[in-house]
Structure 1
Amino acid sequence: MEMTTLSEELQQLSSWKEEVNEVRNEVKLMRERLEQIALSDAPKDVMAKVEHFENRLLRQREVADEMFHDLKQCAKKLSDQPVNVVHHDPPICSFETMQLRMDTFQQLYMELKNEFNRFIPGNESM
C-alpha cells in the first residue's frame, strides 16, 4: 500500500468534503425536479417512481451529511495528532477507512444519479 503524508491525507479529506458538498447540491436539484413532476398531472406509474426517488434522495442526503461530518471529524483527529508518533496504534479515524467509505459513497451515488437520469431525460448535465 502506498504511504501518504499527513498533509496529503488532509488535502484528500478536504477534497472529499468538497465532493460530498457537490453531491448535496445535486441531490437538492434532483429533489426540486421531482417536486415539479409531483405537482404535475403525471400518471400513477410515474408518481410511484417519483416517490421511489424521493425516498432514495432523502437517504442519499442523510448519507452525505453523515459522510461530511465524519470527514470533518477525521481531519480534525488527524490534524490534532502529534507529529512524532512513536507507537503503531491505528488512529480512531483511519484515512484508509475513510477512503474505502468514500469509494463506496461515490459508487452508490453514481448508480443513483444514472438511474435518476434514465428516469428524467435531460438531466445528463448533473
Structure 2
Amino acid sequence: MKSSLFLLFLIFFLSAESQIVNIPDANFKNALVNENVVDIDGNGSGDADADLNNDGEIQISEALAVLRLIVENRNIASLVGIEEFLNLQKLRCEKNQIQSLEITNLTQLEQLTCEDNQLSALDITQNSNLAWLKCRTIK
C-alpha cells in the first residue's frame, strides 16, 4: 500500500515538474530555447537560453529559474507565457511588436524596459516591487 501511494505521488510530482509553458509566439519561444536571453550574472547581457534540459520546450521549473530576461529586438508580437516566470526580477523586451503585456502576477519584477513596442496600455498596479520602468512610445 505504501509503495502504491509513493508511486502515485512520484507520478504526480514528475508530471507537475514537467508541465510545459504555453508560448504561442514562435519568435519568443525561439529566443527562449535557442538564444542567450537569460542574464545569469546580472551584467545586462544574455548568458544562456532558458531551456535548461534542451528539449525545445520551456517547463514551469525552467521558467521559475529565470531571474533576468532580455528579449529585445527579436520581432516578438506576444509575450504570452511570461506570466509563468514568477521569479522574474528584470525584463527587457524593447523594440518588438508587443501589443499587450500581462505582468500583474510577476510580483518580484523590479525593472521593466518595454519601450518601442505597440502597447496601448500597461497595468503595473500589482507590481509593488517595480522600482524602474522605461516604457515610451506606447501607441
TM-score of the two chains, using structure 2 as the length reference: 0.29
TM-score of the two chains, using structure 1 as the length reference: 0.31
Larger fraction in helix: 1
Which is higher, the Rg of structure 1 or of structure 2?
1
Structure number with the bigger relative contact order (C-alpha 8 A, sep ≥ 6) is 1
